[in-house]
Amino acid sequence: MRINRNDGRSFEKTLETINSQYERQGRATVSKVEPPCRVIGWGPQRKVIFLPNPYPDFLGVWTELGSRPLFFEAKSTSEPRLANDKSHLSDNQLEAMRRWRTAGAATFLLWEMAGVVTFWTMAMIEAGLSARRSLVFEDGHQVESGTGFVFHDYLATARRFKDYL
């Protein structure tokens, strides 16, 4: 029996394609951040220990907006709720976003469900979590479609909210 599980890799691959196009266009340079880890031992005794991650899923520089740092978390779910817990949107992820936002980075959340992507500023995230302890997909701003391989033009949506990022 095969279990169809959404672990977000498909959405991350889509974002990597979009980010490649943004870099070609000179709009932004954005990369996926792999979680930091420490490898101990070798061979069958090898252990991988994941360390606390001080970064959201993606980071880069928003070239078309005066080379502002760009940090965002990417989530993909099959349900229209995103809870504030370890398996959805963790306290560590929120704290990393707050930290980089305070330092001046444009910080936001992109949430994909069934091929639709919504955009969330930190203020929207905080309001949703304080009201319900989870975010509701329909409360986000839908990311506009782009052209070519920019399937979801999240920078165009982010530009509309640049004063709140």
Give bridge partners of residue 108 from the DSSP assignment.
72, 121
Query: Residue 137 gets which letter from DSSP?
Result: G
Angstrom distance (rounded) from CA 14 to CA 78: 16
Residue 144: inside a domain: yes
Angstrom distance (rounded) from CA 129 to CA 152: 25
Residue 96: inside a domain: yes
Whether 136 has a pLDDT exceeding 60, the answer reads: yes
Residue 153: inside a domain: yes
Query: Residue 152 gets which letter from DSSP?
Result: B
Which tokens in the block code for residue 163?
Answer: 């004063």
| Structural domain containing residue 158 | 9-164
Residue 1: inside a domain: no
Residue 105: inside a domain: yes
Residue 4: inside a domain: no
- Residue partners of 34: CB distance under 8 A and separation at least 6: none
Segment 14-41 shows an average pLDDT of 95
Task: Give tens-digit pLDDT for 55-67.
Answer: 999 999 999 989 9
pLDDT value at residue 5? 58
- Residue partners of 57: CB distance under 8 A and separation at least 6: 12, 32, 33, 72, 73, 74
Residue 139: inside a domain: yes
Whether 2 has a pLDDT exceeding 80, the answer reads: no
pLDDT value at residue 142? 97
Whether 4 has a pLDDT exceeding 70, the answer reads: no
Q: How many domains does the chain have?
A: 1
Task: Give tens-digit pLDDT for 85-114.
Answer: 877 899 999 999 999 999 999 999 999 999
pLDDT classification of 1: cutoffs 50, 70, 90: very low
Which tokens in the block code for residue 48?
Answer: 């991988």
| Summary mean pLDDT of the chain | 92
The two most distant CA atoms of the chain are separated, in Å, by: 52
CB 117 within 8 A of CB 110: yes
Whether 6 has a pLDDT exceeding 70, the answer reads: no
Run of H or E residues at 68: strand 68-76
Residue 2: inside a domain: no
CATH number (domain holding residue 149): 3.40.1350.10
